[in-house]
Homo-oligomer: A and B are copies of this chain.
Amino acid sequence: MKRDPPADTREDFPHLLEIQTRWADNDAYGHVNNVVYFAYFDTIINRFLIDAGLDIHGAVIGVCVESQCRFLQSLAFPGRVEAGMRVFKLGKSSVTYQIGIFGGDGGLAALGSFTHVFVDGKSRRPVPMPASLREALEKISRAG
C-alpha cells in the first residue's frame, strides 16, 4: 500500500457512463460493496461492446481472464456514480481496459482494470476480435 494513489480524473477517460446505484449495492457497512464495483465494470464494458456491434448471442464472446480494482473512496446508494473507460492494451484477440469510478463530487473512488479475451462461443478458443470492435476500441485507447 506504499504506492501513490492514482490521480486520474474524468478527463482521462474517453468514454463515460453514468451508473445508477441500487439499494442492494450497499452492504452491511452502508457503502457500496467491493464486489459491486466489478458489476459496474461489466456494465460499462459490455454496453460499449454491444454498441460497437458485439452480438452477445453470436459466435464470438468476450471472456474475462483477469480483473483488478483499487478502492479509494466509499460510495453509497442513492448517490450519483459515473464510470470512465479507456483501452490500455489492445491485442489481436484480447483487450485490457482501465475503468475509473467517480463519486458524486467527481473524485476518483476506484481504479480498476479488466482483460477480455475474445473466444469462439462453442470451442472457447481465442479468435481475432471482429474488425468493427477493434476500430471502436482503438478510438478509446489511451493514446487515441
Contact = CB atoms under 8 A, between A and B. Distances in A.
Contacts of A9: none
Contacts of A39: 22-24, 35
A19 interface: yes
Which DSSP category, helix, strand, loop or mixed, fits chain A's interface? Answer: mixed
B64 A34 contact: yes
A132 interface: no
Contacts of A35: 24, 35, 38-39, 42
Size category of the A interface is 35 or more
Given A67-B68, A70-B66, A78 B28 contact: no
Given A20-B43, A22-B39, A34-B38, 17 more contacts: A18-B20, A22-B43, A23-B46, A24-B33, A24-B43, A27-B28, A28-B30, A28-B77, A30-B57, A34-B42, A35-B38, A35-B39, A63-B71, A66-B70, A67-B69, A67-B71, A68-B68
